[in-house]
Amino acid sequence: MLANTIQDTQYDVIIVGGRPAGASLAARLGQQNIKTLIVERASFPSGAAVSTPFILGHTMRLLDEIEADEDQYAENTPPMRRFVLEFKDYFRAFFPVATVGDRDYIYSVNRVKFDTALWNNLQKFDSVTAVANFSVTGLTKDKNGRITGITGRHPQQEEMTISAKCVVGADGRYSTVAKHAGAKVTEQRKDLDTHLFYAYWDGVADYDEQGDAVPHIHTSVDGFSYVFMPSADGQVSVVAQGQSDLYEALEGSAQEVYLNLLKRQPYVWRRMKNATQATKLSGIRRMGNLFREPAGAGWALVGDAYHQKDSIDAQGIYDALLMAKFLAAELGAWHRGEKDWDSAMSSYEANSYDDLKPMFDATMGRVQREIYDIPPEFVAKNVLRWVLTSKGYQHGFSHMLIREYDPNELMAPPAMLKMLGAGISTDIKRMFSSADNPNAMPAPELMPQ
């Protein structure tokens, strides 16, 4: 149920943070009838989380499991069935979206609609109390150091203490629970930090003559990358992302830097000449890539609080929902007395890490290749083109994003050789044919403005 204030001060589980990780964990604990309090600093609908996300079929499958309503979280949002990746003016590659169940599409959701739908979904679960506008300030501990509850504030109530058998931090990248519980960072890639800024725009030109909504990624091979994300109500989120050190060195306000970056790319700006910026700029500096310890005595972390990474592969929400699924199963077993706390939490850690780590490494590889590496022209124009335009890579990449294909296999030398061979043989065939090359970039002025 959604409540305005907190009346009861004793729960089985308290969850701090009410967006993808927290709201999905609460729903799964509600499905097991576990007495749960979920508190969230923001209110719904309200300003969105800093995030402009694609959600893919595998994410929607997990949303089905928590009974979330697609008509609400994707209200007035266009489904998208292909995406395009451009490398400077060298070449472009069209990728099909991988099908999951009967969904052959993805969305770029608006986080206000999405998060509100997940929060309102909690009304269905009698054992869950969901309280917005509540800010957690600290954790309480017993004499052995075990976490026993939270302290926090609600505008209509005095600072209060609420007890629970365990506290879960679903409170994002800068997690208060992680800080107060002393969760250590166990793995980190500071060398691949990126800055990312975005705003929603009205009146963005179509990608091409087909006129459908298409995620459009333009890598300018100079340390920056741009993404068009057609989202709810006809607006398009336009992202400028770059190596953190390069981004920081640019002069001007964040808004000026963002606009200058877009304007200097003809293949980006051609779609924006008649567009107007509809929202203020949002973004993140030095998007971190790390794992923390996921659990300790009386506490656990889920979602970005536990594991955060670059958004380039659009896995953050899926990972948050997946971790919540694993954690809910272990908390259920612990609550029913089938497992003690330590063995439940070590299973949570093992299950999560096994799933998250290969994709994390793949994402770091892609940030390296598409944002950090500045390959020589011959390599970018030929080797990358041969690989990225091969059917084998496109199938493997699309299916890796829905976690059906092992990222290690995609980049393994035998697979790479096959893709290179396919690319070279297509080039040879094209030399003897008069057909247009679908991977060639038309001049920007010949494309929709």
Interface positions with ligand FAD (CB under 6 A)? 16-22, 39-42, 49-54, 135-136, 170-172, 176, 196, 284, 303-305, 311, 314-318, 320
| Residue whose CB is less far from ligand FAD, 22 or 242 | 22
As a whole number of angstroms, the longest Cα–Cα distance in the chain is 80
Q: How far is the CB of 309 from ligand FAD (least distance, A)?
A: 8
Instruction: Quote the tokens at residue 111.
Output: 């986080």
Pick the closer one to ligand FAD by CB: 153 or 418.
153
How far, in Å, are 46, 291, 300, 434 from residue 344 at the CA level?
35, 19, 11, 63
Q: Which residue lies nearer to ligand FAD by CB, 39 or 232? A: 39
Distance of closest approach, residue 274 Cβ to ligand FAD, in angstroms: 25
Our CA angle for 317, 186, 406, nearest 5°, is 50
Least Å distance, CB 391 to ligand FAD, is 25
Q: How far apart are CA 139 and CA 141, in angstroms?
A: 7
Total residue length of the chain: 449
> Judged by CB, which is closer to ligand FAD: 33, or 43?
43
CB 44 within 8 A of CB 115: yes
- Least distance from ligand FAD to the Cβ atom of residue 370, Å: 15
Rounded-to-integer distance, Cα 228 and Cα 169, Å: 32
Using the minimum distance from each CB to ligand FAD, give the nearer residue, 113 or 385. Answer: 113
Contact call for residues 189 and 289 (beta carbons, < 8 A): yes
Cα–Cα distance measured from residue 346 to residue 350, given in angstroms and rounded to the nearest whole number: 6
Least Å distance, CB 286 to ligand FAD, is 11
| For ligand FAD, the closer CB: 283 or 423 | 283
For residue 449, give every residue at least 6 positions away whose Cβ sits within 8 Å of its Cβ, in sequence order, or none. 205, 270, 271, 273, 274
Q: Report the nearest approach of ligand FAD to the CB of residue 16 (Å).
A: 5
Q: Residue 52 or 394: which CB sits closer to ligand FAD?
A: 52
The CB-of-20 to ligand FAD minimum distance in angstroms stands at: 4
136: left (phi over 0), alpha (psi -120 to 50) or beta: beta
